[in-house]
Amino acid sequence: MLRPHAAYLRVYEPLEAFGDPADPHLHAAVRAAQLTKTSAGERERTLWFTSQRVTPPRLLPVEPTDRGASGNDMADVLVLSPDEVPAGRGVTVGPGPLVCPLELRVRSAAALMAFLNESHPVVRAHVLDASGATIETARARATSVLRQADHTALHVVSSTWSVPLPWFTMVDPAQRRLVLGTGQHDPNREVSWRVAMADARRRVAQARELAETVLGDEGPTRVLVDTDRWLANFHPNSAVELDYGGLVQLIPDEKLSTDTTAEKVHAVLAALRDGDVEKLTDLFAELQDFWGELAARERCN
């Protein structure tokens, strides 16, 4: 089955970041954790479909009355060991286990608010009619869920059909995790990077300062500003993961194995420092060649 066509940034925090003591539901979820990055996407899709099979469809998944949902946004977690996270000299990660709650209901509420504010009126009206809700009740429901959130920032952010290039500034290109598996639909197929929070924040801050100086406040700079602010919400000994997610199912083996996007983004930073316009032009053309096909698929969908 196809995974969601989305890439992810995830933050895994030490348990101490969730309170002292942490929520018993979270401890139980960590002890029972069986989700992998692949099955997490399948779990999200299952809970969403469940919410749509009731009459009328629910605006948000993981409501307490939905079949198979507890209503507890800490019930589904990904767990990581600090030993699996490369870190620079003098940088601490952990102690473990490191935990990334999926927070599906809160993420869905945030997405619903964005949909209500940004979607075309015709599309918005169709969705609301199908759910039997007005824009006022939908906005009130989403706002209520967001206010109930235990954390000020979500542990998972996603991007459909592509990976925002500024995200690559935080990783070491040489530390890519590549698993091709038996083909594009292999559930173990993966491209990802893991990085210590301190290393990620240092690299993003440096890239942000350079971009603000050379490019101004918009475009890639805005993504770096938002990413820097997002990372600041978490425990300093956390880990960050950049994951291509379901996008790996859309990219052939040869193209995926020779992907040098991270190297090219870091080369872009070097060219910006040097003022090498010709090099920048070449790099952006190469990045467009790699990601252009996925962009075309997004337009078709």
With a cut of 60, say whether residue 148 has pLDDT above it.
yes
* Lowest-confidence pick of 121-135, 199-213, 227-241: 121-135
Query: Is 166 contained in some domain?
Result: yes
List the one residue out of 293, 190, 204, 201 whose CA is nearest residue 243: 190
A 10 A CB-CB count for 92 gives 13
With a cut of 50, say whether residue 187 has pLDDT above it.
yes
Per-residue pLDDT, 170: 97
Query: Is 14 contained in some domain?
Result: yes
Query: Is 61 contained in some domain?
Result: no
Per-residue pLDDT, 130: 73
Query: Is 129 contained in some domain?
Result: no
The domain tally of the chain equals 1
With a cut of 80, say whether residue 150 has pLDDT above it.
no
Query: Is 60 contained in some domain?
Result: no
For the stretch 226-273, pLDDT in tens is 999 999 999 999 999 999 999 999 999 999 999 999 999 999 999 999
Provide mean pLDDT across the span 110-123. 81
Query: Is 278 contained in some domain?
Result: yes
More confident residue, 27 or 191: 191
Per-residue pLDDT, 255: 93
Binned at pLDDT 50, 70 and 90, residue 70 comes out as very low
Binned at pLDDT 50, 70 and 90, residue 67 comes out as very low
Provide mean pLDDT across the span 185-191. 90
Q: What is the pTM of this model?
A: 0.85
Per-residue pLDDT, 66: 47
Per-residue pLDDT, 69: 45
A 10 A CB-CB count for 57 gives 13
Query: Looking at this protein, which amino acid is placed at residue 260?
Result: T
Record the tokens describing residue 267, joined without a space. 């080369």
Percent of the chain with pLDDT over 90: 48
Q: Could you tell me which residues come within 8 angstroms of residue 294 by beta carbon, excluding any fewer than 6 positions away?
A: 161, 162, 247, 250, 251
Query: Is 127 contained in some domain?
Result: no
Per-residue pLDDT, 299: 61
Per-residue pLDDT, 20: 79
More confident residue, 238 or 113: 238
* Lowest-confidence pick of 49-58, 133-142, 224-233: 49-58
Query: Is 270 contained in some domain?
Result: yes
Range of the domain at 278: 6-35+76-103+149-300
Percent of the chain with pLDDT over 70: 90
What phi, psi does 77 have (nearest 5°)? Answer: -135, 155
For every residue of the chain, DSSP letters joined together read: -PPPSEEEEEEEEEGGGGTTTTPHHHHHHHHH----HHHHHHHHHHHHHHHHHSSSPPSSS--TTSTT--S-TTSSEEEE-GGGS---TT----SSPEEEE--HHHHHHHHHHHHHHHS-HHHHHHHHHHHT--HHHHHHHHHHHHHT-SSSS-SEEEEESS--GGGGGGS-GGG-EEE-TTSTT-TT-EEEEEEEHHHHHHHHHHHHHHHHHHT-SSTHHHHHHHHHHHHTTS-TT-EEEEE-GGGGGGS-HHHHHT--HHHHHHHHHHHHHHT-HHHHHHHHHHHHHHHHHHHHHHHH-
Task: Say how far residue 160 (Cα) sits from the centre of its chain.
Answer: 9
For the stretch 20-55, pLDDT in tens is 777 788 888 898 888 888 888 777 777 777 766 666
Per-residue pLDDT, 221: 94
Per-residue pLDDT, 60: 75
HSE-CB at 192 with a 13 A cutoff on CA atoms is: 23
